[in-house]
Amino acid sequence: MGWKAIHRWLGLTIGTLAVVLGLTGAILAFDPVQEAWQAPAASGDLSVATLVERVTRTFPGAEEIRRVPSGAIVVFGFVGDQAQAHYVDPADGRVLGAWQPSALPRWVKNLHRSLLLGDAGRWGAAGIALAMALICVSALVLLLRRMGGWRQLASRVRGSLAQRIHVVTGRVVLAVLFLTSLTALTMSASTLGLVALDAGTEPEVVSVVPLTTGQTAPHALPGAQLSMLKSLSVRDLRKLNFPDTADPEDTWKVATGQGGGWIDSYSGQTLAWQDITLAQRIYDWAMVLHSGQGAWPWAVVLGLVGASVLLFWLSGVFIWWQARRQAPHATGNSPLAQADVLIFVASEGGSTWGFAQALHDALGHSGHRVHTRALEHFQITAATRQVFVLAATYGEGQAPAHASHALERIATLSAGTVPVTVLGFGDRQYPAFCAFAEALEKTLRLKGWPALLPLESIHQQSSQQFARWGQSLAQALGEPLVLDYVPRMPPTAALTLISRQDYPGLVDQPTAILRFAWPAQGVGDRLRGHGLAHFAAGDLVGIVPPGSAVPRYYSLASGWEDGFLEICVRQMPGGLCSTHLLGLKPGDHIAAFIRSNAGFALPRTRRPVLLIGAGTGVAPLAGFIRRNDRHTPMHLYFGGRDPARDYYFGPEIQQWLGEGRLASVQTVFSRVPEGGGYVQDALRRDAEHLRDLVAQGAIVRVCGSRVMSHDVAETLDAILAPLQLSVAQLKAKERYAEDVF
């Protein structure tokens, strides 16, 4: 069972009870706060002897002095036959008011400690604490995977509102929840009798002064004259019991944070001392950390964290319910034993199942009996003639969670004669692009499995690449085959065009910067991730043009904080979507959705940033600059053809330069005299400056055509060679990312 499954099922099964403990813990955290405000604490230099003298002067019937965790002093005793307990002012012994142990109903504590079930409930509460500790560990593992490691832990969280609530809340309180789970287990070990706290039997001590014949019994010494109490600070006191005046053999008994002692009533000598045990010290610390007793600011933190458990559970259940509703599955499956073609799928988010369904349907139309299932069920039957594995890569090169052990399983199987063909899915922005598919390919070939086609890797779910692979497959099979992949469309939001900036561009290639209003969304839509979740510059907006079922993606030049959605669109020859978009007028509407492009996102940083773009590729780079409120040193290299026709965002770039959002800008235009050539030419001219910036830890973002990005990478490799650095090394360190089209 993987970490994701552990987290999910513990959260769903134990979650409800954990919510009960969390909310009751939040209520109980009110006690230390209230206690801290009810009476003043004793000063640090006050001795217990002085405190005793002040207390006995104002409260003659005192029998016990207790320093409660808040530091306040409570005196217990009798006035006549009436037992009383009062807060006293340690400065003068003055009675301040009656002491009550807790204003909260006792059943709240019993519910928190034992679920109102007695000893069985205490075992149950301990089990819940253990489950919470496992949930916290699994949450940390999943959080690091989602965010891309420790360095990215504080970066922006993407996804639906429910996902952001779950991740952001966890990022803030996960450590405290784990700590409360461990302290709860520590305290339960004592409550359930698994660990003994005391040092054993108390010593038998008697306060007796030997008398000779004719002598009378001496008077007991006042507490203020006892040497031990004179040397003991009140801040170390926990409890002091007075000797019973009716029992001449009774002694003073003092309890401190270091141990307990018995003092002779007549001589003032210490009769016995027991050091506190290590188990008791651990328990005491666990009590403070778990309840906040004696540290009311920490109690406030614990109260907030306890209340957050409800938020965790609700958002987690909602995420699970959404995932269950959207769980992928293949339709039209032939029975496994009769299928001549098997398709196995490994997909983290479910999108790869859409490609598998398209392949399944195409092969079925060609007369094959096809069975499609998840990769963890990999097996070959007697009827199998072809096997296809469609594998996505998750995180830093890992298998999707459901297929985490599939590679190990395949490695144990004996190779057969049936061809097994692997098709990978991933994103080239990540250093481990299609790493899991590559690992599958390597394992299968080393084991001796044949392949109908070599490994092919699909970038960003490209339907065009998938269709080209289908053509190669049809040729290899020797039969007609058309892969008609129609991506499952996520819910969309209606966007209204509010403004446009038009550029003439080259002949038949006009371009426009289109700005759309960002529509208001209900909480339900945001929880489900419908429409437009929080987006950032560099993310992608998917737009489906009329007459097509396939979305086109455009890099965003704005983030949700800007209050609008902006893209830069150039007319493509025969382009259905670009023609549609460039024909829009202010007030017209489109349907759109957001797709995260986390690999290209710019992290929060104070290091220099190199932004390299050509043509409409400047759009996401402009979005980065627009949100550079912290004035991180950003250096833009922009390549166009003619400044009069395609200097996109030109006025804004000059404005950002003046505002300090942009540290420098270098522009080149390839179709005008003295224009400076191409963007890679500008990089060569600035080679020394670029080396200095990279040596300072600069982050690089490149956006433009595939040819341009290739030329830029080659140029930077040559520039960085004296530093013994390369683009590949920068990518491996997550300092270099491309958005190419």
Cβ pair 315, 165 in contact under 8 A = yes
Residue with tokens 């990215």: 152
Q: What is the DSSP letter of 63?
A: E
Cβ pair 287, 281 in contact under 8 A = no
Main-chain phi, psi angles of 725, to 5 degrees:
-125, 160
pLDDT of residue 509: 85
- Distance of CA 8 to CAs 2, 142, 335, Å? 10, 11, 31
H or E stretch at 720: helix 706-720
Separation of alpha carbons 675 and 657, rounded Å: 21
- Considering only CA atoms, which of 523, 543, 514, 519 is closest in space to residue 532? 519
Beta-strand relationship, 341-346 and 270-275? unpaired
Separation of alpha carbons 55 and 47, rounded Å: 12
In terms of Cβ atoms closer than 10 Å to its own Cβ (0-12, 13-18, 19+), residue 643 is: middle
Q: For domain 493-599, give the CATH number.
A: 2.40.30.10
pLDDT of residue 622: 97
In terms of Cβ atoms closer than 10 Å to its own Cβ (0-12, 13-18, 19+), residue 339 is: buried
Strands (DSSP E) along 70-167, which ranges? 73-79, 82-88, 95-98
Separation of alpha carbons 659 and 663, rounded Å: 9
pLDDT of residue 469: 96
Q: Which residues pair with 256 in a beta bridge?
A: 237
Give, to the nearest 10 degrees, the angle between helix 30-38 and helix 296-325.
Answer: 160
- The alpha carbon of residue 351 and the mean position of all alpha carbons in its chain are separated, in whole angstroms, by 23
pLDDT of residue 103: 66
pLDDT of residue 208: 61
Residue with tokens 């429409």: 531
DSSP-assigned states of every residue in 548-576: -SS-EEEE-S--GGGTEEEEEEEPPTT-H
The number of beta carbons lying within 10 Å of the beta carbon of residue 181 is 23
* Torsion angle of the four alpha carbons 225, 227, 229, 232, in this order, in degrees rounded to the nearest 10: 140
DSSP-assigned states of every residue in 378-413: ----TT--EEEEEEE-BTTTBPPGGGTTHHHHHHHS
Separation of alpha carbons 307 and 310, rounded Å: 6
- Distance of CA 120 to CAs 84, 109, 187, 301, 704, Å? 35, 15, 16, 29, 65
**Quick check: helix, strand or coil at residue 13?**
helix
Beta-strand relationship, 634-640 and 664-669? parallel
Which segments of 346-431 does DSSP mark as H helices, in order? Answer: 351-365, 406-412
Which residue type, as a one-letter code, is found at position 374?
Answer: A
Domain with CATH 2.40.30.10 in the chain: 493-599
Residue with tokens 């290091």: 607
- Considering only CA atoms, which of 4, 240, 25, 247 is closest in space to residue 128? 25
Separation of alpha carbons 1 and 362, rounded Å: 34
What length is written for the chain?
741
- Considering only CA atoms, which of 427, 629, 461, 459 is closest in space to residue 537? 629
Residue with tokens 């004996």: 414
The number of beta carbons lying within 10 Å of the beta carbon of residue 316 is 22
Domain with CATH 3.40.50.80 in the chain: 604-740
For Cα atoms 50, 55, 56, give the angle at the middle one, nearest 5 degrees: 100
Cβ pair 700, 720 in contact under 8 A = no
Cβ pair 146, 3 in contact under 8 A = no
Global pTM value: 0.59
Residue with tokens 């027991």: 274
Low-confidence ranges of the chain (pLDDT < 70): 1-2, 103, 148, 156, 158-160, 199-200, 207-218, 325-328, 349, 395-396, 429-431, 488, 507, 520-533
Domain with CATH 3.40.50.360 in the chain: 336-477
The number of beta carbons lying within 10 Å of the beta carbon of residue 562 is 18
| Second CATH level (architecture) for the domain 336-477 | 3-Layer(aba) Sandwich (3.40)
Q: Which CATH number fits domain 604-740: 3.40.50.2000, 3.40.50.80, 3.40.50.450, 3.40.630.190?
A: 3.40.50.80
Tell me the CB-side half-sphere exposure of residue 306, using CA atoms within 13 A. 25
For the chain, the farthest-separated pair of C-alpha atoms sits apart, in whole angstroms, at 129
